[in-house]
Amino acid sequence: MPTIRSNNVVSLTTSPIKNMSFVEKVRLLDYWKIQDSALQNEFPRSHLVLMVDRRLLVTKDAPEVRMVEHSYGELKQLLGEYGLQFDLSNSCLLDALPADNDMIPLFGTSIEAADPPEDSPISKKDVLKQLGNSLGGRFTDIRMAMLTMREERQRNLLAKFQSLTKWAATYRRCPKCAAALKMRSSKSGAECVTCQRVYYPTFSPVSITLITDPTNEHALLVRHRGSAGGVFTAVAGFAHTGESMAECARREIAEEVGIEVDSIRSLDMSQPWPMPDSSLMVAHVAVANMDQKISVCPDELETAQWFSRHQVRQAMETTLADPFLKKLPLTLDDRQTLHYIPPAGAIAHQMIRKWVDGKIDCHNSRM
């Protein structure tokens, strides 16, 4: 591997790649992010994960949902058989992978497939199914992939893939002078061709809070408007300018369910979430008295209710047995009854599961 010459990057030829430290890997990624020519040279050696029409290629008939990786050459050949192409313009840098005694980039590439002719006997859905089979997987909704992927690294890479793809498609003009932006090949930044101002991908901080009673035997869960029937979750909302995350959590609880909390504590858990736009969800636990009257915000929620640990455990077990939520209730009454919590890939699931298992102690809370 050639020596990297940069004021901020050490040479990576001084130690074997297989023993590369985290610091060296991060510096290599930083070098690739800002050096377009270096990344362009690496592109034909890269591995890639794929989205077609904003649907992700994942493993088929596997115990766990994972993104399918292909080498550059394999993907170019397989997509070419369907008249599809990709290049750096619709790809973003996700990670660096070990390969023999070297490191290669992992890219996410997102392409659009043309609709078949109106008189075609084959639908686009059929074409994508065939394409997925040819690529050794199947295409799925990004949200469902995020919810059902059990491995944190997979979820975080997908969040990065979707967020960078959407950001690069949105940031085309300089917000300051309206001139064109030159996007980096990595999609990690864009520079104005006129005023040279550099813009970086944005994300919004979100507090997500599990509310318990002082005995820690009940949890207040909510059902959002338009969400799947029977699925309850924790209170969440975007932080406002000038707020700490704890202040955001307190305000969101007051806005959404109309109660005040006595204490709030960070759970030292977070999750990048790419929908509808890039955000970082930061987990908290709060304590509130159950005798307060619940008053839900009708623009945000359909209902909010206190549940016992036993009731929440039952919903958690139902969710684990049916991770794709195939048995959702259809009747109006059942939709307002706790049947599921979010699937295992959501930070809300991880928070609720820790509480069910007695691993969240509300009495250690602090403001």
Domain ranges of the chain: 22-165, 169-199, 204-357
Could you tell me which residue, 327 or 55, shows the higher pLDDT? Answer: 55
Which stretch of DSSP H or E encloses residue 209? strand 204-212
Quickly list DSSP for 343-359.
-TTSHHHHHHHHHHTT-
Per-residue model confidence as pLDDT tens digits over 210-226? 999 999 999 999 999 98
> What gap in Å lies between CA 267 and CA 260, rounded to an integer?
19
Q: Please tell me which residue, 267 or 8, carries the higher pLDDT value.
A: 267
161 in Cβ contact with 168 (< 8 Å)? no
Residue showing tokens 């005040």: 260
Residues above pLDDT 70, as percent of the chain: 92
Q: Any idea what DSSP says for residue 206?
A: E
CA 200 to chain centre: 18
Average pLDDT over residues 134-149: 95
* Confidence class for position 303, pLDDT limits 50, 70, 90: very high
Q: What is the mean pLDDT of residues 190-204?
A: 95
What separation in angstroms does the CA of 297 have from each of 257, 259, 293? 6, 11, 13
**Helix locations, the chain, DSSP H:** 22-34, 36-42, 72-80, 124-134, 142-148, 152-170, 245-257, 309-321, 332-335, 347-356
Instruction: Give yes or no on whether 22-165 and 204-357 have one common fold.
Output: yes
End-to-end alpha carbon distance in the chain: 51
Confidence label for 123 from pLDDT (cuts 50, 70 and 90): confident
- The CA angle 125-127-128, to the nearest 5 degrees, is 65
pLDDT of amino acid 364: 58
Tell me which long-range contacts 29-34 makes (C-beta under 8 A, separation of at least 24): 29/93, 29/95, 29/96, 31/4, 31/6, 32/93, 32/96, 32/105, 32/186, 33/93, 33/184, 33/186, 33/188, 33/189, 34/184, 34/186, 34/188, 34/189
Give Cβ neighbours of residue 276 (< 8 Å, ≥ 6 apart): none
CA neighbor of 131 nearest in space, from 52, 203, 48: 52
Quote the pLDDT of residue 35.
Answer: 96
- Angle 243-247-253 (CA atoms, 0-180°, nearest 5)? 125
pTM of the model: 0.89
Average pLDDT over residues 329-335: 73
Pick from 59-63, 270-274, 281-285: least confident: 59-63
Report which residue type is found at 180: A
User: What average pLDDT does range 98-107 have in this prediction?
Assistant: 90
- The burial class, CB within 10 Å (0-12 / 13-18 / 19+), for 36 is middle
- The residues, any chain, with a CB within 8 Å of residue 361's CB and separated by 6 or more, are 216
**Residue 18's pLDDT band (cuts 50, 70, 90):** low
CATH architecture of 22-165: Alpha-Beta Complex (3.90)
What are 144-148's contacts with CB under 8 Å, separation 24+?
A: 144/324, 145/56, 145/58, 145/65, 145/67, 145/345, 146/273, 146/274, 146/275, 146/345, 146/346, 147/323, 147/342, 147/343, 147/344, 147/345, 147/346, 148/65, 148/323, 148/324, 148/343, 148/344, 148/345
CATH superfamily label, 204-357: Nucleoside Triphosphate Pyrophosphohydrolase (3.90.79.10)
Q: Which two tokens stand for residue 357?
A: 């298992």
